Amino acid sequence: MNNFLAGKYINQGSYKSFQPEQINKPWTIEDMELLTLLSKADRQLGRLDMYSEYIPNIDLFISMHVLKEATQSSKIEGTKTNIEEALMDKEDISYEKRDDWEEVQNYINALNSAIKNLEQLPFSSRLIRQTHAILLQGVRGEHKQPGNFRTSQNWIGGASISDATFIPPVHSTVNDYMSDLEKFAHNADIYCPELLKIALIHYQFETIHPFLDGNGRVGRLMITLYLVEKGILKKPILYLSDFFERNRILYYDNLMRVRLQNDIVQWIKFFLVGVIETAKNSIKTFDGILKLQKEIDAKLQTLGARSGKAQLVMEHLYQHPMIDAAKTKVLTKLSYPSVYKLLEELEKLEILKEVTGGKRGKQYLFMDYIRLFK
């Protein structure tokens, strides 16, 4: 990796595009600090993966991990929807915030669809394009070829191509680059640890920038898909967007450092630090969930005969920590007077918090649970 050459700038007349080197080739690692970080990252991922083994009903909690990832990954692109807003229905969102809200919902749908599609499709250009199509459906990028690689030049930063921060390769080479990336992902003849592979794949994807819009979100989403497909994680419970968002300047600087200085080692170190920190935080979140579950179960026992119905409500709240009377009625099959009584008792137990302040259409949040993901 010390002899890595990122690529070269090609004169296109009024601008220069960057043509990266292909990555489907043998890699040799000589940096001991990088190897140490790789060992730590593998260890933390192993610890995190254990939670998918022994936490009962872990699928209940994955939807909140996805929702957090959707808000954080979209935030990097300038979207301002928070977790509480992402839980609301569209009609409850103010008109000026609906575009942002819809982009977050698309991200959730795209990620859930991609995870499901992994059962039939390998990590591939086809999977990536399908995911991209959902991401841009009906939102601000809907006219920018959803589900298709670009057929024109794009750029990053700057008001126009003439003052761009970075200009990706010409569109006629995108298919070849993506084919090379896909081959590298599945090339069993080249030994390269999977975490280093996905670090390289993410860098290369962001450098190719194969779509006219949505490259950042798709590139970050690909990390989780790759780890699940390769069996590094049994469940999709690691998302790096929060780390990238909190270190946004370093994230972009390290990507550009590769292109300008051929320093792929620094990018991979940054990526591995992100994996280590994110895995530790995810473990902390799961520990918090287990502790909260015990506290909630103890509180529900005080409800006597109504504890069974309250448990049905809680199972819903672990997946979607916002509820109203109508949803509670569907879950519990109670009459409305009994529903209101149950919600009132859950509020008294400080499990739920009413957040709308209205007499009608009240919405309740499972606040202690939401805080674990902030």
**Are both 142 and 160 inside the same structural domain?**
yes
Consult the annotation and say whether 215 binds a ligand.
Answer: yes
Residues carrying an active site annotation: 209
pLDDT at 297 over 90: yes
Residue 187 domain-assigned (yes or no): yes
Residue 1 domain-assigned (yes or no): no
Structural domains of the chain, count = 2
Consult the annotation and say whether 157 binds a ligand.
Answer: no
Distance CA 81, CA 105 (A): 10
Question: Can you say whether the dihedral through the CA atoms of 184, 185, 189, 192 is positive or negative?
Answer: positive
Q: Which of 285, 308, 341 is the last residue of a domain?
A: 285
User: Which residue range forms the structural domain that includes residue 299?
Assistant: 290-371
pLDDT at 28: 92
For the stretch 137-142, contacts whose Cβ atoms lie closer than 8 Å and that sit 24 or more positions apart, written own/partner, are 137/106, 138/102, 138/106, 139/99, 139/102, 139/103, 139/106, 140/99, 140/103, 140/213, 141/212, 141/213, 141/214
**Are both 43 and 123 inside the same structural domain?**
yes
pLDDT, one tens digit per residue, over 148-192 is 999 999 999 988 999 999 999 999 999 999 999 999 999 999 999
**Are both 205 and 158 inside the same structural domain?**
yes
pLDDT at 360 over 80: no
pLDDT at 359: 66
Closest residue by Cα to residue 55 from 228, 274, 285, 301: 285
pLDDT at 367 over 80: yes
Share of the chain above pLDDT 70, in %: 99
Consult the annotation and say whether 214 binds a ligand.
Answer: yes
pLDDT, one tens digit per residue, over 199-220 is 999 999 999 999 999 999 999 9
**Are both 242 and 298 inside the same structural domain?**
no
pLDDT at 358: 67
Q: Which of 266, 285, 304 is the last residue of a domain?
A: 285
Consult the annotation and say whether 218 binds a ligand.
Answer: yes
**Are both 110 and 22 inside the same structural domain?**
yes
Consult the annotation and say whether 77 binds a ligand.
Answer: yes
Q: Which of 285, 303, 338 is the last residue of a domain?
A: 285
CATH number, domain of 356, equals 1.10.10.10
**Are both 338 and 254 inside the same structural domain?**
no
Q: What is the mean pLDDT of residues 323-330?
A: 96
pLDDT at 194 over 70: yes
**Are both 327 and 189 inside the same structural domain?**
no
**Are both 151 and 27 inside the same structural domain?**
yes
Consult the annotation and say whether 65 binds a ligand.
Answer: no
Residue 2 domain-assigned (yes or no): no
